[in-house]
Amino acid sequence: MATTYSVEHSAAQEIEQLRQQVLRLQKLSQIGLLTSSITHEFNNLLTTIINFAKLGLQADSEAERRDALQRILKAGQRGSTICNSLLGLLRQETVRREMTDLVALVEEVLTLVEKDLQRHQIRLEKDYQGRPRAPVVVGQIQQLLLNLITNARQAMPRGGRLRITVRENPETDMVEIAVHDTGVGIAADKLRLIFEPFYTTKSADEREPSGTGLGLTICRQIIEAHQGRIRVESLVGRGTTFTVKLPRRSSLGNPSAIAGAESGAN
Ligand SMILES: Nc1ncnc2c1ncn2[C@@H]1O[C@H](COP(=O)(O)OP(=O)(O)O)[C@@H](O)[C@H]1O
Ligand SMILES: [Mg+2]
């Protein structure tokens, strides 16, 4: 007897589900690159806590004991901040946009990457102009920034400078987040390829797995879903700047998660 299967999902729904899955997996792979430096940092924090707890227990004076407790508190608070940032990044994806303080969002991502940057001899510079807010899907913009920062770090194998700028552009009514590096740069004829799925110039070595070529594709989709823009400027041997522009007001009531349209990014 023939069995009939009811088709519960349309092809479009399945594609959308796969898209969401790729988004989640790509985020996990980016977080994976940070695991080693975050673990090191936790180890250092625990060493601080253990040593000052011992010192505090042996302390003769009240002042010494207080000092030890203060240091334990500080290390504990730092650990808690890192945990919260990590949980924020891993949090189940919602696709709801919320009015968000973008400097606070950038800071949360930087909490997770700063030790990794230090380890690679990269100096971090921040330039925040005001406290711009925009309606964004928090998890997606975090992922976008993580992708851009990881790319910047990987473009500076011998160290360098990474500058993050957040500012409001009153003329366009957009918030602009720029990630600038002093890395290897991108040749002009490659600029149009970098947003293509699976385009990568990174092969595996002893320190890092090979690239997937999905980071910028996902960045582009996230920006399109926010009706934003992304712009790249690069000079070979000098460095690269990616500027993300996000509208300060949403034009759509309830945006879909990841739009498949090809417009928007340029
Ligand atoms: N900041 C950057 N500096 C130099 N090249 C970059 C930078 N960001 C991206 N690229 C280039 O774009 C390619 C695609 O990036 P991406 O989509 O994130 O994939 P992946 O990082 O896995 O290679 C990279 O392999 C690299 O050649
Ligand atoms: Mg990448």
218 C-alpha to ligand 2 centroid (Å): 10
Q: Which atom of ligand 1 is nearest to the CA of 181?
A: 1
pLDDT at 3 over 80: no
Q: Of 92 and 81, which is predicted with more confidence?
A: 81
Q: Which atom of ligand 1 is nearest to the CA of 242?
A: 1
pLDDT at 188 over 60: yes
Q: Examine residue 114 and state whether it is found in any structural domain, yes or no.
A: yes
- Closest residue by CA, ligand 1 atom 25: 200
Which ligand is nearest to the Cα of residue 156, counting in written order? 1
Domain carrying residue 243: 96-247
Q: Of 102, 104, 72, 100, nearest to 85 (Cα)?
A: 104
Other beta carbons within 10 angstroms of residue 70's beta carbon come to 12
Q: Can you give the pLDDT at residue 20? A: 87
**Quick one: average pLDDT of 189-209?**
90
Q: Can you give the pLDDT at residue 98? A: 94
Q: Examine residue 180 and state whether it is found in any structural domain, yes or no.
A: yes
Q: Which atom of ligand 1 is nearest to the CA of 239?
A: 3
What type of residue is 187? A
Q: Examine residue 72 and state whether it is found in any structural domain, yes or no.
A: no
Token pair 């349309």 is found at 10
76 C-alpha to ligand 1 centroid (Å): 36
Q: Examine residue 42 and state whether it is found in any structural domain, yes or no.
A: no
How far apart, in whole angstroms, are the C-alpha atoms of residue 40 and residue 8? 47
Radius of gyration of the chain measured on its C-alpha atoms: 21
Which ligand is nearest to the Cα of residue 181, counting in written order? 1
Q: Examine residue 28 and state whether it is found in any structural domain, yes or no.
A: no
Residues listed for the chain: 266
Q: Examine residue 7 and state whether it is found in any structural domain, yes or no.
A: no
Q: Are the beta carbons of 240 and 155 closer than 8 angstroms?
A: yes
How far apart, in whole angstroms, are the C-alpha atoms of residue 153 and residue 49? 30
194 C-alpha to ligand 1 centroid (Å): 6
Q: What are phi and psi of 127, to 5 degrees?
A: -135, 100
- pLDDT above 90: percentage of residues in the chain: 77
How far apart, in whole angstroms, are the C-alpha atoms of residue 107 and residue 145? 11
**Quick one: average pLDDT of 37-41?**
94
Q: Can you give the pLDDT at residue 92? A: 66
pLDDT at 259 over 50: no
Q: Which residues line ligand 1 (CB under 6 A)?
A: 147, 151-152, 155, 181, 183-186, 194, 199-202, 211-217, 240
pLDDT at 115 over 50: yes
191 C-alpha to ligand 1 centroid (Å): 10
Q: Can you give the pLDDT at residue 208? A: 82
Strand stretches in the chain, DSSP E: 98-101, 122-128, 133-136, 160-169, 174-181, 229-235, 239-247
Q: What is the mean pLDDT of the chain?
A: 90
Q: Can you give the pLDDT at residue 95? A: 80
What type of residue is 51? N
pLDDT at 248 over 60: yes
Q: Are the beta carbons of 264 and 224 closer than 8 angstroms?
A: yes
The count of structural domains within the chain is 1
- Give the distance, in angstroms, between the CA of residue 22 and the centroid of all CA atoms in the same chain: 16
Residue 85 DSSP code: H
Q: Which atom of ligand 1 is nearest to the CA of 213?
A: 19
Q: Examine residue 152 and state whether it is found in any structural domain, yes or no.
A: yes
Q: Can you give the pLDDT at residue 207? A: 79
Q: Can you give the pLDDT at residue 260? A: 35
- Closest residue by CA, ligand 1 atom 12: 194
Domain CATH number, residue 124: 3.30.565.10
Q: Can you give the pLDDT at residue 161? A: 98
Could you tell me where the DSSP H helices lie in the chain? 11-58, 62-90, 102-119, 138-154, 215-225
Q: With bands split at pLDDT 50, 70 and 90, how would you rate the model's confidence at 42? A: very high
**Quick one: average pLDDT of 66-93?**
92
Other beta carbons within 10 angstroms of residue 249's beta carbon come to 10
Cα→Cα distances 151→10, 89, 215, Å: 36, 18, 8
Residue 198's contacts (CB-CB under 8 Å, 6 or more residues apart) are 212, 213, 214
